[in-house]
Structure 1
Amino acid sequence: MPFFSIVIPLYNKEKFVSATLESILAQTFTDYEVVVVDDVSTDASRNVAEAFSGKFTSGFRIISHQSNSGLSAARNTGIRNATSDLIAFVDADDVWKPDFLERMHTLIHQFPEAGIFAAGYDEKYPNGKSLSVHKNLDFAAGEMNLVPDFFAANTYQPIFWYGSAVVRREVFAAAGYFDEKITYGEDTDFNIRAGQLFKMAYYNGVCASYTMASENQITRASLSTKNITDFSKYEADAAGNPSLKKFLDVNRYILAIAYKLEGNSEKFGLLANAIDSKNLTTSQRFLLHAPGFVVRLVRKIKLLFLRRGVRLTTFRK
């Protein structure tokens, strides 16, 4: 049995998936299998992936869905077909640094009590710029340790995403799989469930690159057409967990602002009215109550700076 099972959801990423697979082949730790789940791509993605089959000596499979079912379903199919108890995820437009699996292997042996293992990442933009992620975590560069508070660490900019993480199979058995009804923010929903039950071990170094705007990235579509996390069902859990409550409210804020930008006042109100304003920064409280034209202007300014490699964010106090 391989030490890691690498799950790759694949849907219309013919221009990107070869770089993803090459980054796996470049890993310094090589005891793994690769499970690609083709979610009925309509381009040449599957053909590109199939061309790599002979390059992986430790196991390479492509599993096909019968109908397009979404990212969560593709991940869940990969998990159920994986042979290892340690599941690594990477989307078909993201890449790992060569030491990612080696760092995860070390984390797993140093912190066997953890259920989730992760590393830092950078964000890769279409203009070729890469930006580091601001972390709400007091770890020295290169440090490996347990994250003291999962929700506090991930409330502002998340310190990881599922392209820079490995999850034990037992986490899915206890917390459930990715919710296939959610079509936007499925990672957030899973984090709420898993973060309450399991510890995270973390390596504070950049081991992966997250592609911010590939061709069919879901964030480019209207949020109003998507199904999001029902945060209200976690309010009972948050009653005795202030970090979780803040995590819920900040994620409500992010989605509420997106609805405001789209002019969806009904869905904006449902989220905004459930937020405890004490859990937001001053700038977030301002934008939550500001007219739509002000929020759109601020967003344009942020994008202008982002193109120049400067991140302006409301997530810092």
Structure 2
Amino acid sequence: MTTAAGATSQVRYQAIVAIVTAALAGALIGVALTATAPVPGVAEVSEVVSAAIPIVRVLLDLAAVTTIGLALLSVLVGYDRPKLTEPIMRRARPIALAASLVWTTTALVTLVLQTAEYRPQVPTVSFADIWDYVVQVGAGKALLVVAVLALVQVGLGVLTLRHGEKVPAEVRVGLGLFALLPLPVTGHAANWDYHDYTMISMELHVMGAVAWTGGLGAMVVLLAANRTLLAHALPRFSKLATLCLVLVSATGLFNAVVEILLNPTISLFTALFTTPYGQLVVLKMMCAAGIAVLGAMVRWKLMPRIVRHERTALATWATLELTAMGLAFGFAVVLTRAPVS
């Protein structure tokens, strides 16, 4: 049983609106939780810069999610039925190209904003200031690398737009995941006693979260109305999602515990419930629990029916899951910059 041609090409923009809105809301909630009073005699960062950094960083993360998710979609639907998959991928390619452009742009804008944050006493940021930030600060180098790799992804997007799946999706996915590796350096203040371990854990955490969210989002937006392709792609994605759930949960818990337990000035429970860092950790844990429940609903209740090509409420349940993921991304952006105490 297949869907009608019109349904096959349907794009569900509600899911995009849901995750973007939730991510921005999560970032703003995090900013509100971590706001501090000005210190007399200390140069203060502009409120505009302080608010803009997490917002732009959320957009950067979502652009990466979109770029990688749409490349992953090509792998999930397979290459053996081009008559079915090509109409979907024709829609995906320009979106992926636009997302990679946003990824590049937001990385550069974040670089400028973090330079302004680094030098609050300077009224305007010059190219020399930005270069000094890149040379002197690891986060500056990381953002520049991310921008360059995202720009390479733009080039691959242009080639894919012209030549289709002759540009291997695995290359696009691999490059996208590789471009995520410097991101933890741009925000997280890892405990230096376990710096190497926490950096590896953070990188795995970011890659798992992006692949999971991107794959789910791509399927909901472009495949939800196509029962034939969905029945093929969802079981494959479910295995990936299970792996990502375990990876993201384990690394997220490890990162939080290391940051809190190795701080000698505060106990675990006090840090969790009385500090902005701990409160953001708790909020992320609540999101993770909600995502796991919603994912289980899709896996055990809906997927058997989807495999039989039956109509389901997948779009609704998956949009709820994406909303929780968006909130988690928003909280995470602020969490990377929040002190433990």
Query: TM-score when scaled to structure 1?
Result: 0.29
RCO comparison, higher one (Cα < 8 Å, 6+): 2
Higher-helix-fraction structure: 2
**Greater Cα radius of gyration, structure 1 or 2:** 2
